[in-house]
Chain A
Amino acid sequence: MEYWSPYVVGIGIGILSWMTFLLSDKPIGCSKAYSRTSGMIERLFLGEKVAEKAYYKKFALEIDWEWMLVLGIFLGASISAILSGQFRAVWVPPRWADAFGHSFTVRWLVSLVGGIILGFGARWAGGCTSGHGISGTLQLAISSWLAAICFFIGGIITAMVIFHILI
């Protein structure tokens, strides 16, 4: 089947979180892996002094559990897309193309800027839609409930502004 019910998917993710708490003593999260990767790439060019940055002393430049998890997401989504015949190169997503045209350059620039802000904001907030949005909220952590609400407030306003629904 191409798609599953969102509730089946959500319950499946919830069960995965039981497994990670039980067998790894860890909640599912993604954004720290990007921070480590970024530092590892920077280290390739600038050498060991990169690892001395205060932030990388806190979150060391190493391949850890969460890094493997993000690599797994990439592979798991590939497998799912291949099995249902959806694996294909898409330059510009259809919904974007309908609103802003088929230019890859424009889409690329907005994705790049969006990605920079997303990566910066995720580390600023100390987590992303997985770490705060799912794992943190299910632990009833106040920080995560606030973060998740702010993710959506910021996201809804931004999307509505660029799609000219607001202003």
Chain B
Amino acid sequence: MLKALHQKENFQLGFGFLVGILFGFLLQKGGVTQYNVIIGQLLLTDFTVLKIMLSAMVTGMIGVHLLRSLGLATLHPKPGSFGSVVIGGLIFGVGFGLLGYCPGTLAGAVGQGSLDALLGGMVGILIGAGLFAEFFPKLDKKLLSKGDFGEITWPQLLKVNPWLVIFPSIVVIVLFLLWIEKFGL
């Protein structure tokens, strides 16, 4: 039944749009479509971004793995290599620190009227993504595949049941969040 739904193109485009609206609504309500809040996170004076990300991660982790156990969902872990995620991640971080928005919150910032996001960030991200497409064949050969480890997850690497990774992760995340709250950050 769900497989058939996954193939319905118009439903999927409409549902993607609906999820986006709810996601954008939540991001704005959380304050993370604002430069001040994101830069506050990177300057370690305001932990709103991490509070949102980590509570989304915990919630998602439990639900998605339950759905998977019930045979209702399939995981799609992204493949990775040290050359792609470490180098690319650090480059991303430099852009993140300069711009003060990430790709998702950038769209939300434009939506609430931030003109630096529209005229600077949005134009820039399109140029940057285009440049990557241009250089992709060369980068792919030289760097992107360095230290490739594929689509592996922690439970696969450790050869354990996913819940043996999920429960300790939740404990660590909750303790971290309590610790942040204790310091009033």
Binding site for B on A (CB under 8 A): 1, 3-4, 6-7, 9-28, 30-31, 34-35, 37-39, 41-42, 53-56, 63-81, 84, 86-96, 104, 107-163, 165
Contact string, B57-78, partner A, CB cutoff 8 A, digits 1/0? 1111111100100001111111
CA of A86 to CA of B112, assembled, Å: 7
Residues of chain B within 8 A of A113, CB atoms compared:
98, 124
- Determine which residue in B23, B39, B108, B149 has the highest number of CB atoms from chain A within 10 A of its CB, and name it: B23
**Inter-chain CB contacts under 8 Å: number:** 541
Q: How many residues of B contact A (CB 8 A)?
A: 125
Residues of chain A within 8 A of B95, CB atoms compared:
114-122
- In the complex, 24 of the A-B residue pairs with CB atoms within 8 angstroms, ordered by the A residue number, are A11-B56, A13-B23, A30-B102, A35-B129, A87-B113, A111-B98, A112-B124, A117-B128, A120-B91, A122-B128, A122-B129, A123-B136, A126-B84, A127-B78, A129-B102, A137-B61, A139-B64, A148-B89, A150-B86, A151-B89, A154-B91, A159-B100, A160-B42, A163-B39
CA of A56 to CA of B130, assembled, Å: 10
B129 in contact with A73 (CB, 8 Å): no
B26 at the interface (CB under 8 A from A): yes
The minimal Cβ–Cβ distance linking A106 to chain B, given in whole angstroms, is: 10
**If A18-B64, A30-B104, A77-B25 touch, does A91 touch B51 (CB 8 Å cutoff)?**
no
